Amino acid sequence: MAGSGKFFVGGNWKCNGTKDSVSKLVTELNAATLEPDVDVVVAPPFIYIDQVKSSLTDRIEVSAQNVWIGKGGAYTGEISAEQLVDIGCQWVILGHSERRHIIGEDDEFIGKKAAYALSQNVKVIACIGELLEEREAGKTFDVCFKQMKAFADSITNWADVVVAYEPVWAIGTGKVATPEQAQEVHAAVRDWLKTNVSPDVASSIRIIYGGSVNAANCAELAKKEDIDGFLVGGASLKGPDFATIINSVTSKKVAA
């Protein structure tokens, strides 16, 4: 029971880039030939969103990497959903493992951020995933379901949500979950949504994989039934590689 939505590929640029490197990457992306039936989103650091928005083809939507939990005001250093909307930014990545484990954001805080962003018509890439020690202890599903529950406790409308499964042990490590490992978690998360949210949400939502996805491994991952796309880190900083990952949708069609 794969997601019925369009294949989805996001590029998380993380804390990388300069005006010059962003300009070069945008030029590469504008020149790339991309399969039409894929939703493509890139997430630059806040300070480059405006530059990207004004120079990147409309074919690719723009995301932020984080957002504040509520309306703007006296929150030094934060960016509000209203400000994202103001500059034409349609998406935000929330719950990324780096925010959870390095910055210390907890499940409930992330869930509330997601609800507020959605209330302002900012779409959400909701990230979940387990640490290596959690996987080794057999707790992968427990951790992912607990993180999903925090989103489900706050989100009422799932139409503008994409779930990204990112095993923390595979992010930036070069270790990739095997297609089978990824498929197993994606299927379990979809099943959790069916039981705890609704069968409709479970069948329509896109569950994408993140964690050392690159031009060489994307096709095999894309073939799996419950993998509806990718959230890409390092490889999204190279235009041609990112295009290859976007175009791995063709593997999906062959598999179907």
Q: Rounded to whole angstroms, what are the CA distances from 104 to 6, 112, 192?
A: 33, 15, 25
Does the pLDDT of residue 3 top 60, yes or no?
Answer: no
Task: Show the CA angle centred on residue 188, arms to residues 129 and 217, nearest 5°.
Answer: 60
Q: Rounded to whole angstroms, what are the CA distances from 83 to 50, 63, 212, 239?
A: 11, 12, 31, 27
DSSP code, position 99: I
At residue 114, the 3 state secondary structure works out as helix
List Cβ neighbours of 210 (8 Å cut-off, separation of 6 or more). Answer: 12, 127, 129, 164, 165, 166, 171, 230, 231, 232, 233
> Would you place residue 163 in the very low, low, confident or very high pLDDT band (cuts 50, 70, 90)?
very high
- Mean pLDDT, range 239-244, rounded to an integer: 98
Active centre residues (catalytic): 96, 166
Q: What percent of the chain has pLDDT over 90?
A: 94
> Would you place residue 254 in the very low, low, confident or very high pLDDT band (cuts 50, 70, 90)?
confident
Does the pLDDT of residue 4 top 80, yes or no?
Answer: no
- HSE (CB half, 13 Å, CA atoms) of 74? 0
Do residues 126 and 162 lie in contact, with contact meaning Cβ atoms separated by under 8 Å? yes
The pLDDT mean for the chain works out to 96
Do residues 64 and 32 lie in contact, with contact meaning Cβ atoms separated by under 8 Å? no
Does the pLDDT of residue 240 top 80, yes or no?
Answer: yes
For the segment 98-156, what is each residue's pLDDT rounded down to a tens digit? Answer: 999 999 999 999 999 999 999 999 999 999 999 999 999 999 999 999 999 999 999 99
- Mean pLDDT, range 7-19, rounded to an integer: 98
pLDDT, residue 43, reads: 98
List Cβ neighbours of 109 (8 Å cut-off, separation of 6 or more). Answer: 69
pLDDT, residue 174, reads: 83
Does the pLDDT of residue 226 top 90, yes or no?
Answer: yes
- Domains of the chain with bracketed CATH: 7-255 (3.20.20.70)
Do residues 1 and 203 lie in contact, with contact meaning Cβ atoms separated by under 8 Å? yes
221-234 core/surface letters (b: 16 or more CB in 10 A; e: else): bbbbebbbbbbbbb
- Mean pLDDT, range 14-37, rounded to an integer: 98
- Mean pLDDT, range 183-212, rounded to an integer: 97
For the segment 83-97, what is each residue's pLDDT rounded down to a tens digit? Answer: 999 999 999 999 999
pTM for this prediction: 0.96
> Would you place residue 2 in the very low, low, confident or very high pLDDT band (cuts 50, 70, 90)?
low
Do residues 188 and 225 lie in contact, with contact meaning Cβ atoms separated by under 8 Å? no
- In the chain, count H helices and then E strands: 12, 8
pLDDT, residue 171, reads: 84
